[in-house]
């Protein structure tokens, strides 16, 4: 790792990219996330990412060192890393190009950055039964629109390591080829590292599942980048997901402007569609466990003993909330649900004191029909949701 350099002046990366904060979350405002503008080839997008996260270099490099230190304690790590890198080169060339541009911009060797990105994969295989780690809650459902009809939303509470609150970024991307898109990610990470939506109105979000069913293949953040750049509907994205090898270890939830929705459970052994709602009034939910019959026994609840069962409980809470409504909810109802507090198992907004290894770092509501999303940096129960436009002149370089 290079020595840390001083913070450089950034371009006005946080100006003219967002509308006024929406009075949806309540409570005091929280620290703002950086807004990145990326444009060009994937290598150029990676290089621009590195330049624009200059103020975050110190916490980023600190977290990188901690991850690499843990990785290097695993004696067989190299045996897993080499075939994984080969799989990325064969099946995820755009992701690799972005990684290489990002590494150059950060003054890192590409292999070092790859090791950092692959560390969670190796560490989970080494100790996937140990407690703690990221959790997320995702659902796609209809809400009332302004004309008395229905429009789809995809909602995600991103639960991640507490350090990632400070590394979290919003990205507005305009690739040299493919659709423009906006997404939530982390400084120093290529691809779509949490969730996003493109100018066609296709939205996607992931969750992590602890499982030994992982191996050489495309990671979820590479899958999501390809989906947003190349696909405009749930049906098209599902076809793509059946065509590539997967690294595994999670789920993907999809929603498009037509109101189609789906959940795909992604394992190295293959991708399984577990829910596909083509009715605009339908809804789907995903948390941090597999439910497909082929995979249900391949996930491990590694939560601390007092939090065992929280993934099942959170899923049940959202399903119950959606099923018991007599009428379609509003966008404001969805924001309130992101900030829901119950007990330690079924709260959707999860604070650091509940599980010191993971906390809710953001809440997002994607509006595919409006080509926009509402983003709250930090706890959704306390923060302010800001509206970003996707695929319009406003909000792009």
Both tokens of 316, joined, read: 């049940």
Give the pLDDT confidence score for residue 135 in this predicted structure.
Answer: 82
Q: What is the CA radius of gyration of the chain?
A: 19
- For 345, half-sphere exposure in the C-beta direction (CA atoms, 13 angstrom radius) is 13
The CA-to-CA distance between both ends of the chain, in Å, stands at 31
Contacts of 262 (CB under 8 A, 6+ apart): 234, 237, 238, 253, 254, 273, 275, 276, 277, 284
Q: What's the full length of the chain, in residues? A: 397
| Kind of pairing between the strands at 34-40 and 168-175 | parallel
CB atoms within 10 A of CB 387: 18
Shortest CA distance to 114 belongs to which of 153, 137, 82, 73?
82
**Maximum Cα interatomic distance, the chain, rounded to a whole number of Å:** 60
Domains and CATH numbers, the chain: 41-127 (no CATH), 136-389 (3.60.60.10)
- Separation CA 49–CA 314 (nearest Å): 34
- Separation CA 117–CA 316 (nearest Å): 32
CB atoms within 10 A of CB 35: 22
State the pTM of this model. 0.92
Strand partners, 386: 21, 375
Residue pLDDT tens, the chain, 397 long: 432 222 222 233 344 345 444 434 444 445 789 999 999 999 999 999 999 999 999 999 999 999 999 999 999 999 999 999 999 999 999 999 999 999 999 999 999 999 999 999 999 888 755 555 668 999 999 999 988 899 999 999 999 988 889 999 999 999 999 999 999 999 999 999 999 999 999 999 999 999 999 999 999 999 999 999 999 999 999 999 999 999 999 999 999 999 999 999 999 999 999 999 999 999 999 999 999 999 999 999 988 889 999 999 999 999 999 999 989 999 999 999 999 999 999 999 999 888 778 999 999 999 999 999 999 999 999 999 999 999 764 443 3
């Amino acid at each position: 790792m290079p020595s840390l350099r001083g913070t450089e002046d950034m371009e006005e990366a946080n100006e003219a990219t967002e509308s006024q904060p929406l009075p949806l979350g309540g409570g005091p405002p929280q620290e703002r996330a950086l807004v990145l503008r990326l444009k060009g080839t994937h290598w150029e997008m990676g290089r621009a990412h590195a330049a624009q996260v200059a103020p975050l270099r110190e916490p980023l490099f600190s977290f990188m060192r901690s991850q690499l230190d843990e990785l290097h304690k695993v004696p067989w790590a190299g045996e897993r890393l080499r075939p994984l890198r080969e799989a990325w080169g064969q099946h995820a060339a755009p992701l690799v190009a972005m990684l290489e541009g990002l590494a150059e911009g950060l003054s890192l060797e590409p292999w070092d950055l790859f090791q950092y990105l692959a560390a969670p994969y190796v560490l989970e295989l080494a100790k996937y039964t140990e407690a703690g780690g990221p959790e997320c809650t995702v659902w796609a459902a209809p809400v009332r629109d302004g004309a008395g009809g229905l429009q789809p939303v995809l909602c995600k509470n991103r639960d991640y390591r507490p350090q990632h609150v400070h590394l979290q970024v919003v990205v507005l991307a305009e690739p040299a080829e493919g659709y423009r898109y906006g997404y939530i990610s982390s400084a120093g990470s290529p691809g779509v590292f949490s969730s996003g939506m493109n100018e066609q109105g296709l939205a996607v979000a992931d969750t992590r599942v602890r499982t030994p069913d992982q191996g050489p293949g495309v990671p979820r953040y590479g899958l999501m980048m390809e989906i947003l750049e190349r696909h405009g509907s749930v049906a098209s994205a599902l076809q793509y997901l059946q065509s590539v090898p997967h690294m595994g270890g999670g789920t993907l939830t999809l929603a498009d402007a037509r109101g189609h929705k789906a959940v795909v459970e992604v394992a190295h052994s293959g991708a399984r569609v577990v829910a596909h709602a083509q009715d605009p009034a339908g809804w789907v939910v995903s948390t941090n466990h597999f439910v497909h019959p082929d995979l249900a026994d391949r996930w491990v609840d590694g939560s601390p003993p007092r939090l065992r069962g929280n993934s099942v409980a959170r899923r049940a809470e959202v399903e119950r909330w959606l099923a018991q409504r007599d009428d379609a909810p509003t966008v404001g109802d969805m924001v309130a649900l992101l900030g829901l507090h119950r007990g330690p198992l079924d709260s959707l907004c999860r604070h650091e004191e509940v599980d010191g290894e993971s906390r809710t770092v953001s809440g997002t509501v994607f509006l595919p029909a409006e080509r926009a999303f509402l983003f709250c940096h930090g706890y959704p129960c306390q923060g302010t949701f800001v509206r970003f436009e996707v695929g319009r002149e406003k909000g792009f370089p």
